[in-house]
Amino acid sequence: MIKVEVHNQAAPALGDLAKTLPAGAQAVLGAVGAELLTTIRQNASTGFHAPGEPHIPGTGPGPNVATGDYRRSWALKTTPGEVFVFTNAPQGARLEYGFVGTDALGRNFNQPPYPHVRPAVEQVRPKLIQALRALIAGSMQ
């Protein structure tokens, strides 16, 4: 979740800046959130394999795509002052962090991590910071 908030108690001290920041910040969050969603989906698309087949080594750091369902499960939700980029897919954490052990169905796994979310966040983070700084600097002129 990315969240920017200007508290009501700060409004008198910020003057007109308190009025312009929320709308501008929402636009920045929407744009950066959309870029994060696109980057996660790209990172989760490094190779292809038949359904049920294992990861194809050498096809990239992210998970292979069998059906595209996982990639399509990523979504963007915006509310005032917030942007959520998320998946409800059950394999999300397992793909990002890996899994070694026996699952609830008794199947044994030695699945390495295929980081695709963290690299996307790290790629987009500087753009968010730069855009918010520019917004604040422009609002103070």
Q: Write the pLDDT tens digit of every residue in 58-105.
A: 666 567 677 788 889 999 998 877 888 999 998 888 888 989 999 889
- Report how far residue 76's alpha carbon sits from residue 86's, in angstroms, rounded to the nearest whole number: 7
Q: Are strands 47-48 and 64-65 parallel, antiparallel or unpaired?
A: parallel
- Among 40-54, 74-88, 125-139, which stretch is predicted with the lowest mean pLDDT? 40-54
For residues 22 and 41, what is the distance between their CA atoms, to the nearest angstrom? Answer: 28
Please name which of 30, 29, 5 lies closest in space to residue 18, comparing C-alpha atoms.
Answer: 5
pLDDT of res. 6: 46
| Percent of the chain as helix, strand, coil, to the nearest 5 | 50, 15, 35
pTM of the model: 0.74
CA nearest neighbour of 71 among 103, 55, 47, 98: 47
> First and final CA of the chain: distance in angstroms?
30
Considering the chain, what is the average pLDDT of its residues?
78
- Give just the sign of the alpha carbon dihedral 122, 82, 35, 51: positive
**Can you give the pLDDT at residue 83?**
85
